């Protein structure tokens, strides 16, 4: 027991020392990058959306098509090897938009192609996007259920 | 023009929240993505996300909370139309274009390109 | 004859000689601070092979062969090869050794593998079980990244504490006789774990292990840090290095004058490697290139290389385990 306590004390002392020398992320710079890049991607999205609306599409159809175009752009720039370079600087600015969701699908699919098309591309495609779909759908289900019960 | 400025500001601010979560908490990008989809769906459920979409347009629909919002909007529409079984059909129906595009383009790009490291 | 010394150390009776070394690096290593101290540099991280893993095997095979040649012989003189890498089941090492067809002992010490392989080689040679052995280690940035972290094309931001896994390999030939610096002493480390869980702060996690081994080395051998011209740790990075200096100071020993970390010696500031280099190849390329050359030119006479390894796996950190760390020290003198 005393051995446990001694180890715990050691860990706490070390953690304290570690926190003192821990480099802080350059918060202001990161926030500016995230804001500008995230804002820019959304502006492109707005532009695409307006274009589809101007073709006379319905609101929902236009939104869906705009999403598809953004997903295409995210996938394409991941394939070219540009999106991860952007992500290094932009952080959440390029992760949070739907283009980042596309990046999270293409990156592992491409990376694990060497393990074959079934266990590589097919299986690994959703290592990061899978949880997003799972928890998104489960939440939507719960919200839907509550909505139905209250009707 | 205002629409573009609003899209820029709303979208940028949502990303800034994500950045703060990544820099100030131990959450990884994968955690942040999941959290955002769930938050978008929940906010949408209590009627708070639609005003943001009205305000920011693509600035609110393109970031991932917008995806959660789309799932819930679809579910609620289908519940209105078909009752109980709408809970099961709405989410995927509403997000079909995005999910389909992600899978197809994702597959195509991974066939066409190799990782550069 | 008694060769053990103190609790965890060895003093070699007939100190084995490091008769030749070889190293290899990728393009980023070539553009770094030690770009002039490589035997081979690759144009890219794939070297026209079909996977990162194959490229890592190629590097390891290449350095083992080159080291054997540089020590004035060829592979047929080598009695044993001691080698390891970072990938699961030592994948790149096993495929590298497939075509070399020499007796082989696989080692896993994570990033401490280079020091560990030199110690095991020296023990085998000093014990009279072999005349000439090779100790070698390799790592590959992209292969390690996809195994331990994220796919390489994922657009994530690396935290300021993160280190960059070196793409490279190093090999040292250790022989019973010959010309070159000698391995005179070694201290085998114990596993030290002070509860760090973040796989992005491996350097700081390993710092206590390095301190533990260095302290034990001083206790066992009676050699003070000033005995050595330089003390090198493997891949602690800038944060881990600061921690080592602080923790040694607390024990009443100031090593800030003759201590450096290999992880801080490889990349330039503008190469965006954040806290420095890591990986088996960090200590391997620095020892088998820069340090060995400095020793043969008599610019460094006595060094202590402390290989540091974080022994976590992708499974262990997903299961929220902390990171067990180890450090092995090997003294090389001319």
Distance of CA B17 to the CA centre of its chain: 15
Question: CB neighbours of C97 closer than 8 A, spacing ≥ 6?
Answer: C61, C81, C83, C104
Distance of CA A140 to the CA centre of its chain: 19
**DSSP run (H or E) holding B11:** helix B2-24
A57 in reach of chain B (CB within 8 A): no
Question: CB neighbours of C131 closer than 8 A, spacing ≥ 6?
Answer: C77, C79, C125, C175, C176
pLDDT exceeds cutoff 80 at C1 = no
Q: Verify whether the Cβ–Cβ distance B105 to A72 is below 8 Å.
A: yes
A73 in reach of chain B (CB within 8 A): no
Chain A residues in contact with C208 by the CB 8 A cut-off are: 14
What are C239's two structure tokens? 């944060």
Q: Verify whether the Cβ–Cβ distance C152 to B26 is below 8 Å.
A: no
B10-39 mean pLDDT: 94
pLDDT exceeds cutoff 70 at C309 = yes
Domain boundary residue, one of C175, C194, C229: C175
Which chains would you list as touching C if contact means 3+ CB atom pairs under 8 Å?
A, B
**pLDDT given for residue A1 in this prediction:** 58
Chain B residues in contact with C143 by the CB 8 A cut-off are: none
Domain boundary residue, one of C175, C199, C219: C175
Q: Verify whether the Cβ–Cβ distance C158 to A78 is below 8 Å.
A: no
Residue A73, SS3? helix
Which chains would you list as touching B if contact means 3+ CB atom pairs under 8 Å?
A, C
Q: Verify whether the Cβ–Cβ distance B117 to C46 is below 8 Å.
A: yes
A55-60 mean pLDDT: 90
Quote the DSSP letter at residue A56: T
**pLDDT given for residue B1 in this prediction:** 81
Q: Verify whether the Cβ–Cβ distance B115 to C45 is below 8 Å.
A: no
A44-59 mean pLDDT: 94
**pLDDT given for residue C273 in this prediction:** 86
Average pLDDT in chain C: 95
Shared domain for C60 and C189, answered yes or no, is no
Q: Verify whether the Cβ–Cβ distance C156 to B29 is below 8 Å.
A: yes
Shared domain for C192 and C150, answered yes or no, is no
Chain A residues in contact with B26 by the CB 8 A cut-off are: none
Shared domain for C202 and C130, answered yes or no, is no
pLDDT exceeds cutoff 80 at A55 = yes
Rg (CA), chain A: 22
Answer for the pair B80, B61: CB distance below 8 angstroms, yes or no. no
Give DSSP secondary structure letters for C214-225: HHHHHHHH---G
State whether the Cα torsion B32-B37-B41-B47 is positive or negative. positive
* Cα–Cα distance measured from residue C168 to residue B109, given in angstroms and rounded to the nearest whole number: 30
C178 backbone φψ class: left, alpha, beta (φ>0; ψ -120 to 50): left
Q: Which of A23, A28, A46 to mutate to test the interface with B (most CBs of B within 10 A)?
A: A46
**pLDDT given for residue A51 in this prediction:** 96
Chain A residues in contact with B3 by the CB 8 A cut-off are: 46, 50
Chain A residues in contact with C150 by the CB 8 A cut-off are: 107, 128
Our CA-based measurement puts residue A2 at a distance from the nearest CA of chain B, in whole angstroms, of: 31
**Closest Cα in chain A to C196:** A15
B115 in reach of chain C (CB within 8 A): yes
What's the domain range around C129? 4-175
Shared domain for C276 and C217, answered yes or no, is yes
C153 in reach of chain B (CB within 8 A): yes
* Cα–Cα distance measured from residue C283 to residue C289, given in angstroms and rounded to the nearest whole number: 10
Our CA-based measurement puts residue B75 at a distance from the nearest CA of chain C, in whole angstroms, of: 31
Give A110-143 pLDDT, tens digit per residue: 999 999 999 999 999 999 999 999 999 999 999 9
A147 in reach of chain B (CB within 8 A): yes
A23-28 mean pLDDT: 90
Chain C residues in contact with A76 by the CB 8 A cut-off are: none
Our CA-based measurement puts residue A3 at a distance from the nearest CA of chain B, in whole angstroms, of: 29
Give C183-240 pLDDT, tens digit per residue: 999 999 999 999 999 888 999 999 999 999 999 999 999 999 999 999 999 999 999 9
A102-106 mean pLDDT: 95
B22 in reach of chain C (CB within 8 A): yes
Domain boundary residue, one of C126, C149, C175: C175
**pLDDT given for residue A151 in this prediction:** 83
Answer for the pair B55, B11: CB distance below 8 angstroms, yes or no. no
Q: Verify whether the Cβ–Cβ distance C160 to A23 is below 8 Å.
A: yes
pTM: 0.93
Chain B residues in contact with C52 by the CB 8 A cut-off are: 117
Quote the DSSP letter at residue C107: -
**pLDDT given for residue C149 in this prediction:** 87
Give C53-75 pLDDT, tens digit per residue: 999 999 999 999 999 999 998 99
**Closest Cα in chain C to B117:** C152
Q: How many domains does chain C have?
A: 2
Domain boundaries, chain A: 25-150
Answer for the pair C239, C201: CB distance below 8 angstroms, yes or no. yes
**pLDDT given for residue C240 in this prediction:** 95
Chain C residues in contact with A27 by the CB 8 A cut-off are: none
Q: Verify whether the Cβ–Cβ distance A139 to B38 is below 8 Å.
A: yes
Q: First and final CA of chain C: distance in angstroms?
A: 23
Q: Verify whether the Cβ–Cβ distance C45 to B29 is below 8 Å.
A: no
Angle of helix A59-79 versus helix A98-111 axis, rounded to 10: 40
Per-residue buried b or exposed e for A14-40, using 16+ beta carbons within 10 Å of the residue's own CB: beebbeebeeebeeeebbbbbbbbbbb
Distance of CA C153 to the CA centre of its chain: 27
A82-95 mean pLDDT: 94
**pLDDT given for residue A2 in this prediction:** 77
Considering only CB atoms, B116 lies closest to which of A65, A81, A136, namely A81
Q: Verify whether the Cβ–Cβ distance A91 to B19 is below 8 Å.
A: yes
Count CB atoms within 10 A of the CB of residue B54: 10
Please report how many Cα atoms fall inside a 13 Å half-sphere around the Cα of residue C333, on the Cβ side: 13
Give C82-116 pLDDT, tens digit per residue: 999 999 999 999 999 999 999 999 999 999 999 99
Q: Verify whether the Cβ–Cβ distance B117 to C45 is below 8 Å.
A: yes
Chain A residues in contact with C91 by the CB 8 A cut-off are: none
CA distances from B14 to A48, B31, B40 (A): 20, 15, 11
Chain C residues in contact with A25 by the CB 8 A cut-off are: 159-160
B83 in reach of chain C (CB within 8 A): no
Q: Verify whether the Cβ–Cβ distance A121 to B58 is below 8 Å.
A: no
Q: Verify whether the Cβ–Cβ distance C152 to A84 is below 8 Å.
A: yes
Please give the ipTM for the structure prediction.
0.93
Chain B residues in contact with A78 by the CB 8 A cut-off are: 109, 113
Chain C residues in contact with A26 by the CB 8 A cut-off are: 160
Q: Verify whether the Cβ–Cβ distance C239 to A22 is below 8 Å.
A: yes
Shared domain for C58 and C150, answered yes or no, is yes
Q: Verify whether the Cβ–Cβ distance B76 to A144 is below 8 Å.
A: yes
């Amino acid at each position: 027991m005393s051995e446990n306590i001694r180890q715990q004390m050691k860990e706490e002392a070390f953690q304290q020392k570690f926190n003192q020398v821990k480099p802080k992320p350059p918060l202001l710079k990161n926030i500016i990058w995230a804001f500008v890049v995230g804002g820019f991607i959304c502006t492109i999205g707005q532009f695409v959306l307006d274009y589809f609306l101007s073709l006379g599409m319905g609101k929902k159809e236009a939104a869906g098509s705009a999403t598809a175009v953004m997903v295409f752009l995210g996938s394409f720039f991941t394939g070219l090897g540009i999106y991860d370079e952007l992500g290094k600087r932009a952080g959440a600015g390029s992760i949070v938009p739907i283009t980042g969701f596309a990046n999270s699908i293409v990156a592992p699919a491409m990376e694990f192609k060497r393990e074959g098309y079934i266990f590589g591309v097919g299986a690994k495609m959703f290592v990061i996007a899978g949880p997003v779909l799972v928890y998104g759908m489960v939440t939507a289900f719960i919200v839907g259920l509550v909505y139905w019960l209250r009707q | 023009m205002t629409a573009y400025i609003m899209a820029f500001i709303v979208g940028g601010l949502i990303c800034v929240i994500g950045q703060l979560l990544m820099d100030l908490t131990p959450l990884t990008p994968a955690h942040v993505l999941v959290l955002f989809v769930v938050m978008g769906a929940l906010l949408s459920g209590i009627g708070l996300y639609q005003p943001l979409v009205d305000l920011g347009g693509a600035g609110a629909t393109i970031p991932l909370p917008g995806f959660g919002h789309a799932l819930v909007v679809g579910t609620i529409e289908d519940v209105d139309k078909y009752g109980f079984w709408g809970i099961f059909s709405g989410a995927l129906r509403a997000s079909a274009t995005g999910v389909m595009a992600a899978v197809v383009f994702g597959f195509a790009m991974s066939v066409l390109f190799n990782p550069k490291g | 004859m008694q060769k053990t010394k103190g609790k965890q150390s060895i003093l070699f009776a007939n100190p084995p000689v490091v008769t030749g070394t070889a190293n290899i690096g990728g393009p980023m290593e070539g553009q770094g601070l030690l770009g002039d101290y490589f035997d081979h540099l690759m144009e890219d991280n794939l070297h026209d092979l079909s996977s990162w893993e194959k490229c890592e095997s190629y590097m390891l095979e290449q350095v083992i062969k080159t080291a054997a040649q540089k020590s004035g012989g060829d592979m047929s003189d080598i009695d044993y090869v001691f080698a390891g890498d970072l990938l699961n089941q030592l994948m790149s090492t096993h495929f590298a050794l497939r075509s070399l067809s020499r007796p082989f002992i696989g080692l896993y010490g994570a990033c401490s593998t280079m020091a560990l392989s030199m110690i095991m080689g020296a023990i085998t040679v000093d014990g009279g079980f072999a005349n000439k052995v090779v100790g070698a280690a390799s790592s590959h940035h992209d292969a390690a990244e996809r195994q331990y972290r994220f796919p390489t094309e994922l657009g994530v931001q690396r935290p300021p504490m993160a280190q960059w896994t070196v793409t490279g390999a190093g090999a040292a030939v250790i022989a019973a006789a010959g010309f070159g610096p000698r391995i005179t002493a070694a201290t085998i480390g114990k596993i030290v774990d002070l509860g760090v869980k973040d796989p992005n702060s491996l350097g700081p996690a390993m710092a206590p292990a390095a301190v533990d081994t260095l302290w034990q080395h001083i206790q066992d051998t009676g050699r003070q840090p000033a005995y050595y011209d330089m003390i090198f740790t493997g891949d602690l990075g800038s944060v881990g290095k600061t921690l080592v200096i602080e923790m040694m100071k607390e024990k009443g020993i100031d090593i800030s004058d003759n201590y450096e970390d290999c992880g801080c010696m490889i990349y330039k500031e503008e190469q965006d490697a954040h806290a420095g280099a890591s990986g088996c190849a960090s200590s391997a390329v620095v020892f088998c290139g820069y340090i060995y050359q400095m020793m043969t030119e008599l610019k460094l006479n006595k060094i202590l290389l402390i290989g540091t390894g974080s022994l976590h796996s992708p499974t262990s950190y997903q299961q929220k385990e902390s990171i067990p760390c180890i450090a092995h020290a090997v003294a090389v003198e001319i």
